[in-house]
Amino acid sequence: MSQPLVPRILRPRRAAPADAVRPTRADVNFESLRHNLRVVKKHAAGARVWAVLKADGYGHGAPAVARALERAGADGFCVALVEEGVELREAGIAAPILVMGGHYGGALEEVVARDLVPVLHDAGQIEAFARLVRAGTVPGPLDVHLKVDTGMARLGVTMVDLPGLAARLADYPEVRVRGLMTHLACADAPDEGPSAEQIRLFDEATALLARAGVRPEVRHAANSAALLRGQARLDAVRPGLALFGIAPCVGGVPLSEELRPVMRVRTEIVELRGVERGAPVGYGATWRAGRPSRIATLPMGYADGLSRRLSNRGHVLVRGKRAPVVGAVSMDMAMIDVTDIEGASVRDEVVVLGAQDGPLGRDAIGADEIAAHADTIAWEVLTSVSRRVPRFYREP
């Protein structure tokens, strides 16, 4: 008889609202999240919606987001890591959880015990899970999804190796391939040809497996971009970015105008000082005042998700007006120039990501704009908001 499983997967603790001392925080709007799920479901046209909650739910806090989405009708969830799947189960999530990262290490038993669905991509993984069942360590048969590489060259059994793998699956009745997936590499490219070719290969892989007697019940390939373009909806879709209110762009044009941003990151001015013309600001003196200036200090830095690449390039919102980031963003703090922000004072709200209404107007800074300033992508902007920034969950 197997021994009771002792959980061994640990995660760093997220900053809790009750522990917050400094004013830096992220507000997560559940109504916007539910709205985006409704938009996604409309585009899914009946396909199952498996919300992708990798990287702490794209920085929004995976457990709370998963609970909200599960109540709102999401059919399941996708994560990259076993640890992420465990976190969702410990948060009370009952829906299917697909672990797509392909690495299970010594946690095979925990994957089964937590009722996580592994995505496998080679014969060695299939054999490893089959051995667990044969040894009586876990009950079987085990349901898995198989990943096919149709052009990403990252994970997945290649089209060259698939015939051999298909022939060997009969040797492992302890493992049932219930799902088949692939990953589209160019879903947001102007040319739809590469995605069409990947889907053609995926159909070919499906037919090849069927000839070997393997007929998965669910096939899935579409990410947010493919879903919004009406590509590869199949039996299930895997939206991530769209759920959090950001539409992938094709040729600079968003694929949807219906989505609403879910996260708003804000802090406050904690220090104000005047500097003379020519005075340096920040590490390395990378910025010098071109006129007598008022410089405000913010309690947020690159360790919180305010990228160092925004030094002397980015903006924030104060009193409804843009203020430039000046000097090098440091680990815990950053400085902004509020010379042109009439009435700026200590304790004023500063919006780093999102919208602000203030006495000087209304404006918004989106993740795409930040990404452009930082030479990166919106995905990285969201997932860079670190766990030491507490998330406050809002119901309007």
Q: Kindly list the catalytic residues.
A: 54, 283
Query: Is the bond preceding residue 194 a cis peptide, omega within 30 degrees?
Result: no
Q: How far is CA 37 from CA 151, 240, 384, in A?
A: 29, 10, 23
Closest CA to 108 of 88, 90, 124: 124
Q: Which among 120, 110, 69 has a CA at the least distance from the CA of 90? A: 110
Q: Distance (Å, rounded) from C-alpha 212 to C-alpha 170? A: 8
Q: What are phi and psi of 256, to 5 degrees?
A: -150, 145
Place of tokens 């946690």: 107
CA neighbor of 60 nearest in space, from 260, 244, 258, 248? 244
Phi, psi (5° rounding) for residue 122? -155, 165
The first and second tokens of residue 323, run together, are: 């203020």
**Where do runs of H (alpha helix) occur along the chain?**
30-44, 54-58, 62-72, 82-90, 108-113, 123-134, 162-168, 193-211, 224-229, 367-374, 378-383
Residues 62, 92 contacting (CB under 8 angstroms): no
| 3-class DSSP assignment, residue 20 | coil
List, in order, residues 6 or more apart from 107 with CB less than 8 Å away.
Answer: 8, 9, 82
The tokens describing 363, both together, are: 């404006």
Phi, psi of 388 (to 5 degrees): -85, -5
Alpha-carbon torsion, ordered 331, 335, 336, 342, to 10 deg = 130
Nearest to 64 by CA among 350, 378, 306, 387: 387
